[in-house]
Amino acid sequence: MLQTTIPYTEDDWHIGRFSLLTDHLRSLTDENGEPMYNVTTRNREENSDGIDPLLSRLDESDFGQLWLFALDLGEGLTSDDCAGITRFRKRGGGILSARDHNDMGSSLCTLGGIGAAHYFHSKQQDPDESRNARDDQDTKTIDWPNYHSGSNGDYQKIQAADHPLLRRSDGSLIEYFPAHPHEGGVGAPDGDSAAAVVATGMSQVTNRTFNLIVAFENSIDKHGNHCGRAIAESSFHHLVDYNWDLDMGCPTFLEEPPGGGIKREPEKLDDVKHYVANAAAWLSK
What CATH number is given to the structural domain containing 135?
Answer: 3.40.50
Give the CA distances from residue 245 to residues 101, 220, 224, 237, 238, in Å, rounded to whole numbers and listed in that order. 21, 40, 44, 11, 11
88-122 CB burial, b ≥16 within 10 A, e <16 = bbbeebbbbbbbbbbbbbbbbbbbbbbbbbbbbbe
Is the bond leading into 145 cis (omega within 30 degrees of zero)?
A: yes
Q: Are 119 and 125 in contact (CB under 8 A)?
A: yes
Alpha carbons 258 and 181: distance in angstroms, whole number = 10
The domain in which residue 50 lies consists of: 2-283
C-alpha count within 13 angstroms, C-beta hemisphere, residue 267: 0
Alpha carbons 141 and 37: distance in angstroms, whole number = 39
Q: For the whole model, what pTM was predicted?
A: 0.97
The pLDDT score that the predictor gives to residue 112 is 86
Give the list of residues 6+ apart from residue 208 with CB closer than 8 angstroms, or none: 135, 147, 202
Listed in order, strand segments (DSSP E) in the chain are 2-4, 41-42, 65-69, 94-98, 118-119, 155-157, 159-160, 176-178, 185-186, 195-202, 209-216, 219-220, 226-227, 230-233
pLDDT tens, residue order, the chain (285 aa): 999 999 999 999 999 999 999 999 999 999 999 999 999 999 999 999 999 999 999 999 999 999 999 999 999 999 999 999 999 999 999 999 999 999 999 999 989 889 999 999 999 999 999 999 999 999 999 999 999 999 999 999 999 999 999 999 999 999 999 999 999 999 999 999 999 999 999 999 999 999 999 999 999 998 999 999 999 999 999 999 999 999 999 999 998 999 999 999 999 999 999 999 999 999 999
In the chain, how long is the greatest CA-to-CA distance? 52
Alpha carbons 44 and 255: distance in angstroms, whole number = 25
Helix axes 19-27, 270-283, angle to 10 degrees: 70
Q: Are 81 and 52 in contact (CB under 8 A)?
A: yes
Total tally of structural domains belonging to the chain: 1
